[in-house]
Structure 1
Amino acid sequence: MNKYKIFQQLHVQQQPFLLPNAWDPLSARLLEQAGFAAIATTSWGMAQARGQQDGEQCSFAEFLNQLKPIVNAVSIPISVDIESGYSNDINTIFQHVLAVAKLGAVGINIEDSDKKTGKLRTQQQQIAILVAIKNILNRHGFSQLFINARTDCFLQTAELASTITRAQAYQTAGAESSCKYNGRR
């Protein structure tokens, strides 16, 4: 069974799916050795390892250079936190996602907040981004890449109804799952 199918199945099993976060090759290997079936990266942890604050403080090229050894360090599925996509331009974001997929990641976590303004993207903007990501992945043979569309709506507005509406809209747009920000990355 390929890594994509394993990752998909972990999301629908009877027991809770624990997805621990790695920030460097050593933490990824240790989590794999501890018996986890899959791991994710943590934007906060990766930023701290660079000596920076969270929130896309480095270039995307620097992020990819840091990510590649993490992905290559393990044989289990890995999902990558790409924050808000390292851009506000749809074409740039979907190219970034494609680059992550080409490294061997089986999934991404993408947020709906704008790192420059600190505000939420409009729901329509984020839906357009998700649709563009799905289209580029399908065209390049990565249709199985798992997209977790995270909404920061509740964190910023404390409106549960808006948060649920966004999460449902993101799933309709092609995300395999959507979640609200829980205060941890």
Structure 2
Amino acid sequence: MSEDELKGRAAALLELHQPGNPVILPTVWDAWSARLAVDAGFAALTVGSHPVADSVGKPDNEGMTFDDVVARVGQITAAVDVPISVDIESGYAQTPVRLIEGLLSAGAVGLNIEDTVHSDGGRLRSSDEHAGLVAGLRAAADASGVHVVVNARTDLFLRQDGDEADRVDRAIARLRQAADAGADVLYPVGRHQPETLRRLTSELPLPVNAIGVPDQDDPASFGPLGVARVSFGPFFQAALAARGKEILARWA
């Protein structure tokens, strides 16, 4: 893919993020699931680490290598003609330059980066450290000439880190720091009550990514809460797996 094509896809992906009118980015894991989503009419996709890991028989939380991810992403971008964002977990202990170069070489124009460090015992990065990584990714993307869409994720809610009473405050502070470092989108990953999600979207300075359970949530519920992006994490694959088990059980 040429640099101009990558630039165009990156710009298109970023433009889709409109608070109150969220882009729905189905989370896929291979060429088949990507084609399924694009044929259904979706304009961009995310590639999820958990579904990809499941599809190749490896554990999530960086049980794959970054090269494994790049190879799979290349198969997906060869199969569909839409912008692709990739969950790169906590970075697979790679440098920002290596991460950006690998994603662009596979035709991806966006990334999620989380603050749990799987290569270092699963510890949580400090706010400064996470912001530093975001800044490194932004600098590497700028140097490449492509404005890769950086989605900065915090796992405070997922990990139930610290006191619940100030968890939202700490998440907002952490994500604001990531925004200042060059993120384009902010991802307080977790299943939130509407009032919590509304507070996050109103107090954070950039478009906010929420997670949706595709066979349970109401697609129309996210816009009024100010969400700009909805992705499915592992839940689309899980819903298909549940239906698959029902079909297979008739024949077992």
Q: How many residues align?
A: 181
Q: Quote how far apart the aligned CAs of 1:111 are.
A: 0.5
Deviations 1:94-151 (A, max 9, x none): 3122210232212101101110322211111111111111111111212x11000000
Residue 180 of structure 2 aligns with which residue?
172
Pick one of 154, 160, 172 that aligns with 2:168. 160
Q: 2:17 aligns with which of 8, 11, 16?
A: 11
- Structure with bigger RCO (C-alpha 8 Å, 6+ apart): 2
Structure 1 partner of 2:150: 147
- How far, CA to CA, are the matches of 2:59 and 2:73 in structure 1? 17
Residue equivalent to 2:88: 82
Runs of 4+ in 1 over 6 A off after TM superposition: none
CA distance, structure 2, for counterparts of residue 182 and residue 14 of structure 1: 19
Query: Is 2:98 aligned against 1:95?
Result: yes
Letter in 1 for 2:187: C
Q: Is the radius of gyration larger for structure 1 or structure 2?
A: 2
What is the deviation of 1:5? Answer: 2.2
CA-CA distance at 1:160 after TM superposition: 1.2
Q: Tell me what 2:140 maps to.
A: 136
Alpha-carbon contact 1:86-1:93 (below 8 Å) kept: no
Give, in whole Å, the separation in 2 of the partners of 1:152 and 1:94: 24
Whether the 8 Å contact between 1:94 and 1:129 is mirrored in structure 2 is no
User: Would the alpha carbon gap of residues 14 and 161 (structure 1) be closer, same or farther in structure 2, given more than 3 Å must change?
Assistant: closer
Q: TM-score normalized by structure 1?
A: 0.91
Counterpart for residue 116 of structure 2 = 113
Residue identity in the other structure for 1:51 = G
| C-alpha distance in 2 between matches for 1:23 and 1:179 | 20
What percent of counterpart residues are identical?
33
| Amino acid in structure 2 at the alignment position of 1:75 | D
Q: Does the Cα contact within 8 Å between 1:32 and 1:74 map onto a contact in 2? A: yes
Superposition TM-score, scaled by structure 2 size: 0.68
Matched position secondary structure for 1:182: coil
Whichever residue aligns with residue 55 of structure 2, its letter is: A
